[in-house]
Chains A and B, each alone.
Chain A
Amino acid sequence: MWEQINEMLRAAMLRMSDNVAGFIPGLAGLIVIVALAVIVAVLVRLVLARLLSGLRLDQRAENLGLGSAADWSVVGGPSVFIARVAMWTIIVAGVLVGLSALDAALPEAFARSIFGYVPNILAALLIVVVGTVLSRFFARSVLIGAVNLRLEPARPLSLGIKWLVILLAWTIALEHLGIGRGILAVSFAILLAGIVLASALAVGLGSTEWVRDAVAKRRGRTGDHPDDLPHV
């Protein structure tokens, strides 16, 4: 009986050592591929950053109305952002290719499914970044406009616009990723309708006097408002 047990253990050890021997080249391949991907990614990032900087992409983006340097400061500017996205795309692609080198069914299937999902992730990432940049752009414009119109709630208005745009961007991004599709859209619609209803109620019920005063001031102002002077 002991001989049978010994035989089984030996066979198990042999199988395991065979498996390990078969796995090590794949692992080595994974490490080499990932290392190469990291090197290529860093190089691509450096070259892209320099190339886009040379092409004055940041300034061109601003000219196209895609936000100023301050708006892009979260991600370090359009050229830095593109270079970073390119670097991480190559690294993630390298890891996934490396996983398939392991020659195992599960990692390969995982890699395939992730590869199929990458375009969605990239698109969602782009939507979130552009949404964030635009939210800051709109928030600043609304703030300055409201202050110049002497609207009391200038900052809340600006913050409201900012978060509305951010929320919209995240909703679209998550929709793109296929996460909670129907629920997200309905939630956003309910939230937006709620904001509009709450604002209407606040103005209609709670701030009647404030609105009346503001309208009366505009109609009956006599020389004490800056817009009553020609200035030129």
Chain B
Amino acid sequence: MPEIAQDVRQLIIGIPMGPDADDATGRRASALASATVGENRTVVVARPGGPVSAGDGLPRTGGGVIDVQYTLRPQDAQDVPYHGVAGRARAIHAILTQAHAAGAACLIVDTRAAEPTGWIDGFVQALTEDQADFVGPVYGRHPFSSGLTHGILAPLFAALYGHRLQYPVALHFACSARLIGAVLDDPMWDRGAALPAIEWGLASAAAAASLRMAEAPVLTGTREDRPILGLSTTAAQLLGVVFADIERQVRVWQRVRGSKPVLRVGTSPEHEPAPAVDAAALAESFRSAYRDLHGVWEEVLPPLSILQWRRLTTVSQDAFRVPDSVWARTVYDFTMGHRLRVIPRPDLLHSLTPLYLAWLASFVLETQGAPAEAIDARLARVRTAFEQEKRYLVSQWRWPERFKPVKLRRQR
């Protein structure tokens, strides 16, 4: 990687704003700007289209605050991402371009979800004192309410790239000047599949370049950044990002074995109280989905997996458990199905949702009422399963003829 001229003291705090940013978001951005401007920190607000209009509560250019514009393409307005900020990836690119010009590091903040309090210092410390290149957030979210992250995204990132980032997909993250210089011209910015969660691509690029990774706590207030789309669409978008990245970084992740914790700055926030989750209803929705969708899953999953999923439709609620290895292999089979386009990709991505709900039901039934340490230990076992079963993915990726879902076997 070429050496980038960087000033580790300089930090740009970037606020990507979509076309639908409301007054509250604007006021929070103003508060953040007035609280953090100075001390080598500059706030950059990226908004689509023309200059910031007067009276919308946003700071004007000057006084350490910079307004940048990005072009919102028609496609961005049509394909609303799960977090609701249309064109967020282009806004982030515009902010990173500013940071690159200044040779500064950059912290991306979502003003809808986090109060601009002292947590920013944790990111600054990771970037400056610990020389980290990618800093991910640590939230106090309960795993029941962030099952996609804890059940698929985090274990998959650890297995693929060897770094145990807790939130590889998040609305707050920071990049060093070195990482910004390396990714600014990457083709991923033009790939529609990568745009809903561009931070996954940035993190994987950092891992691919053997850059340092760290995590810092983020104190969020109410979760106004919750997905505005349904679960199925959210899951399809995020898995689309991940599967596209797996195809892009194939030379990197095939060489990685095991995983290691990333540097943690500050103390992790405590888990929020467990949300009310009706595991019985989730399990029942899986049973109902199996009746209708097993034909679709047979186009992706091998006979053994189908048998194990079918077994779950007959067991009692107490015995409703998705083995970690089955879950990991299922995600890997869907990765292969996506690569080989066994069925249209949107259908493939959406059809994973009922299986994820079954995993969530199993996880909730197993850990309901357990202390936070026990839940974390259980999640560590999920991650280990993804790492152990990775050889299954590597084998199938290298020899695609080994990928034999039920329907393909029947045709042969």
**Do A and B bind?**
yes
Interface-facing stretch out of B23-31, B158-166, B230-238, B251-259: B230-238
Asked if B269 lies at the interface with its beta carbon under 8 angstroms from chain A, I say no
Q: Mark A66-88, 1 if CB is under 8 A from B, else 0.
A: 01111001000000000000000
| CB-based contact A140/B82 at 8 Å | no
| CB-based contact A230/B226 at 8 Å | yes
Asked if B296 lies at the interface with its beta carbon under 8 angstroms from chain A, I say yes
Interface-facing stretch out of B10-18, B102-110, B278-286: B278-286
Of chain A, the residue at the smallest CB distance from B351 is A144
Q: Mark B258-287, 1 if CB is under 8 A from A, else 0.
A: 000000000000000001111001100100
Asked if A116 lies at the interface with its beta carbon under 8 angstroms from chain B, I say no
Interface-facing stretch out of A45-53, A148-156, A202-210: A148-156
| CB-based contact A137/B275 at 8 Å | no
Q: How far is the CA of A72 from the CA of B407 in the complex (A)?
A: 13
Interface-facing stretch out of B93-101, B145-153, B303-311: B145-153
| CB-based contact A231/B296 at 8 Å | no
Closest Cβ of chain A to B404, distance in Å, is 14
Asked if A3 lies at the interface with its beta carbon under 8 angstroms from chain B, I say no
Interface size on A, residues (CB 8 A): 31
Which B residues between 337 and 379 are near A, CB-CB below 8 angstroms?
A: 341-344, 346-347, 350-351, 353-354, 357, 360
Asked if A62 lies at the interface with its beta carbon under 8 angstroms from chain B, I say yes
Are A226 and B282 also in contact (CB < 8 A) when A62-B341, A143-B293, A232-B227 are? yes
Of chain A, the residue at the smallest CB distance from B280 is A224
Q: Mark A7-37, 1 if CB is under 8 A from B, else 0.
A: 0000000000000000000000000000000
Residues of B participating in the A interface, judged by any CB pair closer than 8 Å = 82, 141, 144-149, 169, 223, 226-227, 230-232, 234-235, 238, 275-278, 281-282, 285, 288-289, 291-293, 296, 299, 341-344, 346-347, 350-351, 353-354, 357, 360, 407, 411
Residue from the list A62, A69, A144, A230 in contact with B296, Cβ < 8 A: A144
| CB-based contact B148/A141 at 8 Å | no
| CB-based contact A68/B341 at 8 Å | yes
Asked if A65 lies at the interface with its beta carbon under 8 angstroms from chain B, I say yes
Q: Mark A127-152, 1 if CB is under 8 A from B, else 0.
A: 00000000001001101111111100
Residues of A participating in the B interface, judged by any CB pair closer than 8 Å = 59, 62, 65, 67-70, 73, 137, 140-141, 143-150, 154-155, 158, 222-224, 226-227, 229-232
Residue from the list A68, A145, A146, A231 in contact with B235, Cβ < 8 A: A231
Are A232 and B344 also in contact (CB < 8 A) when A144-B296, A148-B350 are? no
